[in-house]
Structure 1
Amino acid sequence: MRRPTLDAATVGASVKLAIFLVVTTLATGMLVVVVGNLSFGDSRRMQAVFSDATGVVAGDDVRIAGVKVGSVRDVEIVERDRALVSFDVDVDAPVTESTEATIRFRNLVGQRYIALTRGTGASTPLEEGATIPIDRTAPALDLSVLFNGFRPLFEALTPEDINKLSFEIISVFQGESGTLESLLDRTASVTSTLADRDEVIGDLLVNLNEVMETIGDRDDELSSLIVRLREFIGGLAQDREAILGPLDSISELAVETSGLIGGIREPFVKDIKELRKVAGTLDRNRAEIDRATQILPIKLRKIGRTAIYGSWFNFYLCNFEATVRLPKPVGTVSLLDYSVGTGRCDLP
């Protein structure tokens, strides 16, 4: 049986396909190496302790002067409130006992990398598995703290300017803006606003300085006040049982008072209604009441004069006149009229 043979066209297509696959594979590998900044040299494992490693994940870069010298291997919690970051660095990377590690932003979308910088101290190279202590590490910038730091600035701006500036900052950090031009424009506007209010800020600082000087001059009085206040609070704490004890009795008194008021409610309401009628009557006769009030002192003075000699009243009869009719002698018809009177007298 005759074996099938390949024609020249098929062989040429197969060779071209093989060359294309090899070239594509090499190009892809080179692209991965360049983009990922991969290193195939020897490395050594190290660790660093951070107070906050937010955003750091396995695979993030470890850089010295902006050049990648390693990558993060793992992040874990130690001592309940600290983060231990394990990373690999090249064996020839200058990492010494004075090296400081700082978490920084890699880009505006929030990716981080660890920057190793030279510190002050010994220049002895770190050994395999060495740990950079927390006193030589620094966490990444906290955006919450950043924006809280802008709070005094926001208070000096109008709501419209605050909204525009906040929108630009958020857009940049979310990757929605390709440049910082608009953010810089808003920052320039903010700077101009602060410059316009330079005199107000200066007056504020001067007044604050005077206040602080006044407080400093009264340091003894302030210290004494704080001591007295502490003693007062301590006395209240010691007497808290005596203060809180009567609360139960006060509560019982309130209950009893409530029951008492409930029992006299109806007659009390009736008295209020009658009192309203009395007030109306007094209002209608206020002219007579005013006149009586005005002449009352005169009446009382006269009454007092009549009782000036003891617990009795002296009455004087002045200008008494009377007519007496007597019968005439026998034989006459009409009656005789005699008038009797007293002279005028003055009261003492």
Structure 2
Amino acid sequence: MRGLAAPLVKLALFMVITVAATGILALSITNADLSETATYGARFTDATLLLPGDDVRIAGVRVGQVEDVEVADRNQAHVSFSVDAGRKLPASVTAQIKFRNLVGQRYLALGQGTGADPNAVLEPGGTIPIGRTRPALDLTALFNGFKPLFQALSPDDVNKLSYEIIQVLQGEGGTVETLLAHTASLTSTLADKDRVIGEVITNLNSVLTTVNSRGAELSELITQVQQLVSGLAEDREPIGEAIDALGGLATTTSGLLQDTREPLKQDIAALGGLVHNLNDNEQVVEHFIQFLPTKTAALTRTVSYGSWFNFYLCEASGEVGVPGLVSTPLEIPVLPATQARCSG
């Protein structure tokens, strides 16, 4: 007997461990909760594929499980679920059936509602009314709408797109609501600007009508522009040479101006002096200009006899001085003015 004791103890130990592990595995598979729970109910218009044992979650954290799903009032579904007894549900709690994965598994999501006393709680055994519940998204109707798109995608892309669509339309409701709010705001703004938009469209129609009525001229203009561009393209080499020549001319002109800058500066300065001199002798210049026609007429008559001038010497005089002998030069008249033509 003593020889059989050790094997019997080992066998008993193995059986206890195996039964315990099997029980733990069974509890994990069935999502059974051995802790104390409180049971509640919720009414839905549709609870398709929500099964007993599915998770009950708050903010993505599992807090309980679905206990039963049954028909109520002929056209509604009553879902019984349990939640950890230590977790109190607010009186304004909401419930929504969401997709757990693309295989079709669901879970019940609880949320914080509005409009009730934040300190009030839903007593165990209470029921969430249908006004604060939402059924799962109808994937059949949704994916039928995307069927033409899915036909052009690979299976992996279809699965990824389907999951993202579910996340957006179901798990990201706030984002969709914000998008719809912005769309409504844009629509309202466009409605407020209806008159301005109408005037813009009317004016645009007028412009298009005018352009359409000048179709022949516009076509001719485009043709001429095309011909001009083609001609410029064909003459690009002469145009390039002309541009180079203009560059050389500009360089030469620049050098010329640089060489003549100093003489030009001197000429301008001398011209300024001439102007000042003429201004200082204004009366002489004015007298000269005033009697210039008379003098020109007399000179013209004088030279009309030939290519010479006739002069008559009326008077001549000079001075004679001897250095060292005469201190004052002597003035000697040579031709005294005694003729009648020299008088006056």
Q: TM-score scaled to structure 1, two decimals?
A: 0.43
Q: Which structure: greater helix fraction? A: 2
Q: TM-score scaled to structure 2, two decimals?
A: 0.43
